[in-house]
Amino acid sequence: MKVTINDVAKLAGVSMKTVSRVINKEPSVRKKTYDLVMSAVNELNYQPNIAARNLAGTSSFAIGLVYDNPNAYYVIDMQNGVLSRCKEEGYELVIHPCSYLDTNMQDEFKTMIKRSRLAGLVLTPPLSEQQSIIEMLDEMGVQYVRLLSGRDTDITERNNCILVNDFAAAYEITEHLLSLGHTRIAFVLGDKEHKSTSERLAGYHQALRDHNIEPSDKLIYEGSYSFESGVNGAKELLKDGNPNNITAILGGNDEVAAGALFAARLMNIDIPAELSITGFEDSPFSRQTWPKLTTAHQANDVISEHAARLLFSKARGSRKHDKDIITTFTPSLVVRESTGPAQ
């Protein structure tokens, strides 16, 4: 027979309401009571029925992850990070892809939230950067956490944000290329709608200026976060015999960098002897190319897991675990074979 909450209550010697409070991780439960109930839960191998919990009251036991990103590796890492925390909390995860360009996006959001009766949302870029979405969620009274590209000084309200310091990471990558003697460093940008694009460009510009090199628009290619954009960007930047004397290309992400490397090979350019190429994010793309890409390691699964932890803390109205939550991440330089000294 299926184990019920009543069986757990009897074994633990407490009321069913107390068992429910423990399972729902209410912060007011004493540790002794929590340990007693969880011992009974583990002994009986009790599995809470998520659907029954949703139907039993107004509280929801599911959160949503909303994204608009064509990079499958990014999406999978984000899903895995949030899902790992959901399992710890006893919640389900609703995954909702959408397009921020869709004129019906807000109505779609509202329908999804009401239909799934979500306890909260984790928003990824560029959706997390849309002020109209944030205002709508505030009006609905929905809890949310935003993943944003930015620096600590950029955000005044930090209680619902997880920041990724793309500026500092791009600065470090550019400085690495400068240390190898590269002064003509091109940049193939990602989608202009993403704040990560402007932050990475700003970090690149600042590193150049700090080494007394004035940035040049001739070395910038405005693209998107895709392999094809890297191919097209490298072809455009290096065409006609490379008149701008480019010796290094910084890709907006690893897909872009992999595309640039592919294009360079088609043009019989030796990597890294004649051209150094770097990526960003340390996705599998960076390790599947030859040579492997120098990049900036961005632990998207860890970032999203902390976003989920912050969301659950907010939903419970508790600050108990906030000291364990990391709210700013800075991708770190990973040097591989795609970069070398400038000729």
Tell me the three state secondary structure of residue 339.
Answer: coil
Q: How many residues does the chain have?
A: 343
CATH topology of domain 5-48: 434 Repressor (Amino-terminal Domain) (1.10.260)
How deeply is 28 buried, as exposed, middle or buried, from its count of CB atoms within 10 A (0-12, 13-18, 19+)?
exposed
**DSSP assigned state of 243:** T
Contact 328/165 with Cβ under 8 angstroms? yes
Tokens of 39: 């011992």
Q: How far apart are CA 20 and CA 80, in angstroms?
A: 27
The answer to whether the beta carbons of residues 251 and 278 sit under 8 Å apart is yes
194 DSSP 8-state letter: S
**Domain 62-165+300-329 in CATH: superfamily?**
Response regulator (3.40.50.2300)
Judged on CB neighbours under 10 Å (0-12, 13-18, 19+), 236 is middle
Structure tokens at 210: 């700090």
Domain ranges of the chain: 5-48, 62-165+300-329, 167-298
Q: Which two tokens stand for residue 222?
A: 């405005």
The three-point CA angle 195-164-110 to 5° equals 65
Walk along the chain (343 residues) and give the pLDDT tens digit of each residue.
Answer: 678 778 888 898 988 778 877 877 776 788 888 889 889 888 888 876 554 454 344 456 789 998 887 778 889 999 999 999 998 888 889 988 888 777 787 888 788 887 777 888 999 998 899 888 888 888 888 889 999 999 876 655 566 899 999 999 999 999 999 999 999 999 999 999 899 999 999 999 999 999 999 999 999 999 999 999 999 999 999 999 999 999 999 999 999 999 999 999 999 999 999 999 999 999 998 999 999 999 999 999 999 999 999 998 887 765 455 677 889 999 999 999 999 999 8
Architecture of the CATH domain 167-298:
3-Layer(aba) Sandwich (3.40)
CA distances to 17, 114, 150, 295 from 58, in Å? 15, 12, 36, 46
Cβ count within 10 A of residue 207: 22
And the tokens for 291?
């040579």
Same fold, 5-48 and 167-298: no
pTM value is: 0.81
